Structure 1
Amino acid sequence: MHGRADGRLRQQVDSLRQQFLQQDGLPFADVLSTAGLEGALREVPSRWKDRIFTPLVTLGVFLAQVLNADRSCRAAVARLIAHRASQGLEPCSSETGAYCQARGRLPERFFAAVARLVGRNLDAQVDRQWLWKGRRVCLFDGSTVSMPDTEENRREYPLTYNQVPGTNFAPARIGAIISLSCGAILDLGICRYAGKGQGEVSLLRRLWDVLRPGDVLLGDRLMSGWVGMHLLKQRGVDTVSRLSAHRRADFRKGKRLGKDDHLVVWRKPSSIRSVDRETYNALPESFTVREVRVRVEQPGFRTRSIVVVTTILDPDQASKEELASLYRARWNNETCQADCTSSDRWCSTPGGGYDQRRRAA
């Protein structure tokens, strides 16, 4: 029985790659390997049955749905019927209930595993000319989504202290590390909205093993914390972010590298809640960072000048203008997240009606 099930699984994987993912010239077949899809399928908690809407078929229908101009469930099922007819298979019902139920049974881990698989394979094929000064740049940012107020959602993602059951949606925090060169997700995570260890920086620490020595991590103000910048530098990863609102840059101090460009020593904070006492004592008393002030003169931007902080200390490796241009690319992360989590996109995806709560960087 096990051998026959494995054979059916492999046939479905091949069908998914060849039929659903190669349509209209999409490149997914090159990055969705059979082994990778089988690994993603292991994230489904219960064993799948040999029925029409298996996890892999459901994934294929879902991908075709969100990539098509008509994203309705009815059109998605109609495309599946046409596909089965072309393969000489018995057509399934045109009702959408079975598809929607199958989609709802797929756990977050399954979609996350597929996203990682695609993203990492795409990133591995990036042309070196797309890199920034020969280095891979990764973006990190977080956002929040709200879900239907069900008992299961509240148990997994509890309401915050000021939310009343029955009148509020269950919130969750999401975060992703994205390749700047190809725009694909390298790793992503989801956690509760509030509570100890549930913030964006904590979420980043769960994901940053995907970063390699030599990478540059591009983030918002939350990424300019003393501990995070230092720990990433220890891993060989440089950071570029906007200076935190809790700090003030004084360009009269430090080692001057040019106009509004200097090196400054940051002292270790007297207390750090994100690490234990033993880890705190092992941290150095200070480390050096670089601060540059740049003016934003593009119409539509509220801020007239910003301070970018980085652990790239050598101006020969990156000039002030190059750092400013790189930080400007971070806004792609904001717009991509808005596209992926906006209500008009989520209305036709699992858990339709998600509501994204964007915050200012």
Structure 2
Amino acid sequence: MLTRDAPRHWHWRGRRVLLTDGTTTTLPDNEVNQAAYPQPDSQKPGLGFPLMRVQALICLGSGALCDAATGPCVGKGGDEQTLLREMLDNLEGGDILLGDAFYPTYFLLAELIGNGIDGLFEQYGARKRSTDFALAEVLDKHDHIVVLSKPKKRPDWMSPEEYARLPETLNVREIQCGGKLLVTTFLDAKDTPKGVLKALYRRRWHVELDIRNIKTTLGMETLRCKSPKMACKELWVYLLAYNLIRLLMAQSAWLSDQIPRQLSFKHTVQVWTAWTQIARGSEDGESMYQLMILIARTLVGLRSGRIEPRLIKRRRNRFGLLMEPRADARERVRAFGHPKKQR
């Protein structure tokens, strides 16, 4: 359970829990943006948009963004693992990191263990198929401790000195619960039984909702600036606005004796937008107090463990995809008109 021991400090068993996940956002299609954030290789030139990858590190208790890193989606240095490593300095000994199946690699687990940080992740798909709970140190049914060996090949991003300092083996725990295979650095089955870890991992879903709030509710799905430098500034303005809204939610939750995660992000945005139009600068203490109470009036509940199909119900319109540069498409329409099925 999440507990509150002081204003604006929310913990799991007295420890800070952080969530991480990656997403993408598109930029205007021009040469400078394409050079910094190339479109996917599967798309033909002129048909796609520059794509920026964004890696987020978010506090589980308050939903506040602790840090973010950006990079291209094509080439080295832009994958989620690389961007996450750039932000590991934000983690301290005793913290807990939750992530999906992309993250539990040997090198990340070794760095977490070396810094006194615990991790809880879903198991990587390839290893999931070879997991045998009858082997290694069996703790319980579908619960054991396995030994991971250091990969023999040093990755390009790691120096020889860093590679040499890594331990030859790591002890990690694999458990199967709730239809998922989890890997964690919590090795004590008595202190952290499967049910406790299952309940904790279910809260990872909040990072999906937080990223949706940033991209959809605030409108960061498509950036508008026409240069990489200005696009990064625009991105951080969105993230700053997100944290300011989370601050309002945390203050409102404290005054109303609620948990910040129980308050609605979209409701807070709507209330704040309406209030700023009505207040017109008259921000006295009483009106701010009423604003906080109004924000806390709409609760959403603890929505952990949700599973949603990556499908849409709303049908697309009758127009097809643009499969050639727009200038060529315009010339073809001028010469031959629109296809009959699109008229």
With normalisation by structure 2, the TM-score equals 0.60
Aligned to 2:159: 276
Unaligned runs of 5+ in 2: 1-5, 226-230, 232-307, 311-343
Question: Deviation of residue 347 (structure 1)?
Answer: 7.2
Spell out the pairing of 1:184-223 with structure 2 (5 A cutoff).
Answer: 184-223=64-103
Question: Deviation of residue 280 (structure 1)?
Answer: 2.3
Structure 1 residues 340 and 250, CA, compared in 2 at 3 Å: closer, same or farther? same
Secondary structure of the residue aligned to 1:346 is coil
Secondary structure of the residue aligned to 2:47 is coil
Identity %: 36
Aligned to 2:181: 307
Amino acid at match of 1:136: R
Amino acid at match of 1:320: K
Secondary structure of the residue aligned to 1:222 is coil
Inter-partner Cα distance in structure 2 for 1:152 and 1:282: 40
Aligned with residue 346 of structure 1, among 219, 229, 232:
219
Aligned to 1:87: none
1:236 aligns with 2:126: no
Secondary structure of the residue aligned to 1:221 is coil
Whether the aligned pair in 1 keeps the contact of 2:71 and 2:77 (CA below 8 Å) is: no
Aligned to 2:25: 145
Amino acid at match of 1:253: L
State the Cα deviation string for residues 204-263 of structure 1 (Å, max 9, x = none).
Answer: 000110101000000111111011011111111111000111213211012122221111
Structure 1 residues 349 and 150, CA, compared in 2 at 3 Å: closer, same or farther? closer
Spell out the pairing of 1:280-295 with structure 2 (5 A cutoff).
Answer: 280-295=163-178
Aligned to 1:3: none
Secondary structure of the residue aligned to 1:262 is strand
1:327 aligns with 2:201: yes
Whether the aligned pair in 2 keeps the contact of 1:149 and 1:165 (CA below 8 Å) is: no
Inter-partner Cα distance in structure 1 for 2:151 and 2:119: 19
Whether the aligned pair in 2 keeps the contact of 1:126 and 1:181 (CA below 8 Å) is: no
Secondary structure of the residue aligned to 1:236 is coil
Question: Deviation of residue 348 (structure 1)?
Answer: 10
Aligned with residue 262 of structure 1, among 141, 144, 150:
144
Which contiguous aligned blocks of 4+ residues in structure 1 show a shift greater than 4 angstroms? 347-350
State the Cα deviation string for residues 75-132 of structure 1 (Å, max 9, x = none).
Answer: xxxxxxxxxxxxxxxxxxxxxxxxxxxxxxxxxxxxxxxxxxxxxxxxx9534xx311
State the Cα deviation string for residues 326-356 of structure 1 (Å, max 9, x = none).
Answer: 11110111122122213x641798529x9xx
Whether the aligned pair in 2 keeps the contact of 1:159 and 1:171 (CA below 8 Å) is: yes
Question: Deviation of residue 143 (structure 1)?
Answer: 0.9
Whether the aligned pair in 1 keeps the contact of 2:21 and 2:100 (CA below 8 Å) is: yes
With normalisation by structure 1, the TM-score equals 0.57
Spell out the pairing of 1:103-118 with structure 2 (5 A cutoff).
Answer: none
Aligned with residue 62 of structure 2, among 182, 189, 210:
182
Question: Deviation of residue 203 (structure 1)?
Answer: 0.2
State the Cα deviation string for residues 303-340 of structure 1 (Å, max 9, x = none).
Answer: xx211110111123321111011111101111221222
Aligned with residue 226 of structure 1, among 106, 115, 123:
106
Question: Deviation of residue 164 (structure 1)?
Answer: 3.2
Structure 1 residues 348 and 253, CA, compared in 2 at 3 Å: closer, same or farther? closer
Aligned to 1:4: none
Unaligned runs of 5+ in 1: 1-123, 296-304
